[in-house]
Amino acid sequence: MHKNISHKILFRLLTLVVISLFTLNVAAQTNMPRKLREDILKSKEKEDSRTRTARRKTFGSTPQAGAMVLRPVNPRAQQGATLVKIESAQEMLYDESRLPGIKVLKGDVRFRQDNSLLYCDSAYFNEEANSFDAFDNVRIVQGDTLTIYGDFLNYDGNTKMARVWDNVKMVNKNTVLTTSELHYDRNINLAYYNTGGVIEDGENTLTSIWGQYSPSTKIAVFKDQVKMTNPESQLTTDTLNYNTSSSIADIVGNSLVRYKEDTDIYSQKGWYDTKNDQMMLLDRSLVEQRDGKTLIGDTIFYDKKQGYGEAYSNVEMNDPKQKATLFGNFVSYDEIKSVGLATDSALLVDWSAKDSLFLSADTLYTMKDSIETDTIAFNKVMAFKNVRFLRSDLQGMCDSLLYTSRDSIIHMRVLPVVWSDNNQLMGTQITAFTKNQKVEKVVIDKSGIAIQLDSLNYFNQLSGKEIIAHLDSGKLQRVYVNGNAESIFFPKDEKTKDFIGINKTLSSYVTMFFKDEKIERVLLTTASSGAMYPLSQMEEDDLYLTNFHWYEEERPRVVDDVFKKFVRTEPKKRPQSKKRPAFPGESSDPVSTTTTTSGSPARPADSTRSSGINQTQPQGRGVQSGGIKRGGLQQL
């Protein structure tokens, strides 16, 4: 006895070790969950901090984007207004009659105001108004980092506002802005256009109808027909904020990011690091792969270089090719390794067949199951902890589940239970073989039991070392028991439909046949025994096998049921009934009628044939008159 207990404990420990190693191996195939979110949030916080610092240095307090452009402050009312000075010109002309108060300058003209130099070929300078118009080869140089080129310039020295048009180019280190007309506010070092423009920074090319750029903060704002392109991707949107120093874009409007016709990303709000190809997408963004896979979530973190994405809250990952959808409040997907992970209300819906299959677990994995010699990739699904599934013809629960389309086999481990109609199968481990999305065969290893609810009070039962159940269209057809087969079933009178007793058998091997979801006949080996008992003399424990347990509450019947969690432990063994048939050579229970066979069957006291099936009718007590419709014994 002690050896048996030790062996059971050792087996359980080995099972836990194997499951743990298997889980660690799966985790090693994926990026560490939730790490991408941490990395992107750290990068965004660092970028936001740099932006706030740059704006404070430039503006004092951070102004609303575009406010200074649309409603500029007139420096006439401000102290510290400076004069525009002529530094050089090859020729200076006056014509008071034609151009009163205007100095006409020609040849290598240069103006200065503060630390800015303004160049042109010719100019009209109004010294009283502190402004001028410049023509040809116009150039504004501010410090050693900013230069503006154009054909024409109108400059107001009081407001320090410049308007440059025709062949306009602004160069700020590696950033180049080109447009047909540019407005530049020297007070706050801000340029904007509204006739269409292009900004290039070495990483991206951005075009829009309206644009604004601050050389101090390196922040550009774009509106209307915005497009950002680079060798890897193209972004189109209505509104975009972009940092030319970090090459980071803030998505603030309906946007589409397309990666070489490989991945499309739709978002209304987000953060996009174009250098590192990392994104944070908000407000139910969508990632769509070329093969049709889609990922939707309230928040998505995506690393295109690594081919890895994480999504949070109300996540939906859809695969139309495999006709499957993965739900959860956390979902990650590795495009390179084709590994998907879902946790927190994880649900896999397989809608490839007429009836959808709903599978829930604490953790769900989907991946490709392939080797180098495979010409096609097979799909694999793994589920761990609180596994529950539902389909109209099949339901089940266990603690871990593995399915691969390579062999179309479902492996269920740790307290597995499977239901079909009014049948329940359970054991130490269950293996289900499928074909064309239907379960054809179920194999139960170690202490298996098949239970059928015959009425409100009675359950037909069959247990043994190994049970093999065959199904057709979800209906139980036959059950084969290999080793230590023991059965209990309740035959009915053919005419009255009343139960006539309880039939118990012991055998090395048993086969049960079912028809119309009821037991039709039972085949026993020659080394077997059976007994019929009157129901009136049965106590409760006499109606059940020792490993009987009916899971009524735990059975999922609607989709919401697959999310229910139950504290599950191995059910206690029931007391062994004293009213059971004897093995060959043993004495029988006096209240029963026992048929015992060893080599050749004992001759029954009476027999009847119904529907062509050989059945043994017990003697004496508990037997109704007339034939027996179902529940007979037939020896092999």
508 neighbors 483 (Cβ within 8 angstroms): yes
Q: What is the DSSP letter of 499?
A: B
Average of per-residue pLDDT values in the chain: 80
- Among 228, 225, 250, which residue's Cα sits nearest to residue 238? 225
Q: Read off the amino acid at residue 125.
A: F
Picking from 94, 93, 142, the residue whose alpha carbon sits closest to that of residue 117 is 142
Architecture of domain 393-635: Sandwich (2.60)
Inter-residue contact 248 to 271 (CB < 8 Å)? yes
From CA 597, how far away is CA 103, in angstroms rounded?
130
Residue 628, pLDDT score: 32
What tokens appear for 507 in the block? 């055998």
Q: CA angle, corner 615, sides to 609 and 618, nearest 5? A: 110
* Cβ neighbours for 259, distance < 8 A, ≥ 6 positions apart: 232, 233, 265, 304
What is the domain partition of the chain in residue ranges? 88-174, 393-635
Give CA–CA dist 140/165, Å, rounded: 13
The structure tokens 């799909």 sit at 379
Nearest Cα to Cα of residue 244 among 348, 167, 174: 174
In whole angstroms, what is the distance from residue 230 CA to residue 542 CA? 78
Euclidean distance between CA atoms 155 and 133, whole angstroms? 6
What CATH code would you report for 88-174? 2.60.450.10
532, 503 in Cβ contact below 8 A? Answer: yes
CA 405 from centroid of its chain's CA atoms = 19
In terms of Cβ atoms closer than 10 Å to its own Cβ (0-12, 13-18, 19+), residue 370 is: middle
Q: What is the DSSP string of 139-171?
A: EEEETTTEEEEEEEEEEETTTTEEEEEEEEEEE
pLDDT of residue 109: 96
Residues 6+ apart with CB under 8 A from 116: 140, 141, 142, 186
Distance, CA of 94 to CA of 99 (rounded, Å)? 8
| Fold match, 88-174 / 393-635 | yes
Q: Give the pair of three-digit tokens for residue 250.
A: 């803030």
Which two tokens mark 509?
Answer: 């091997």
**pLDDT averaged over 10-residue windows placed end to end, the chain, 636 residues:** 46 44 47 71 71 52 36 46 91 87 93 94 93 96 91 94 95 94 93 95 94 92 94 92 92 90 89 91 91 90 89 91 89 86 91 86 84 61 93 90 84 92 90 81 87 84 89 81 88 85 88 79 78 89 92 93 92 89 60 45 31 32 32 40
Q: CA-to-CA distance for 106 and 135, rounded, in angstroms?
A: 10
Report the C-alpha gap between 518 and 458 in whole angstroms: 13
Phi, psi for residue 142 in degrees, rounded to 5:
-120, 110
Task: Extract the runs of DSSP E, i.e. beta strands, from 414-549.
Answer: 417-420, 423-426, 429-435, 438-453, 459-472, 475-489, 492-493, 502-515, 518-524, 528-533
Task: Tell me the HSE value of 407 on the side-chain side, using a 13 A CA sphere.
Answer: 8
The pTM score is: 0.72
CA distances to 235, 322, 336, 379, 590 from 373, rounded to whole Å, are 39, 22, 18, 16, 65
CB-based contacts of 124: which residues, under 8 Å, 6+ apart? Answer: 99, 102, 103, 104, 105, 132, 133
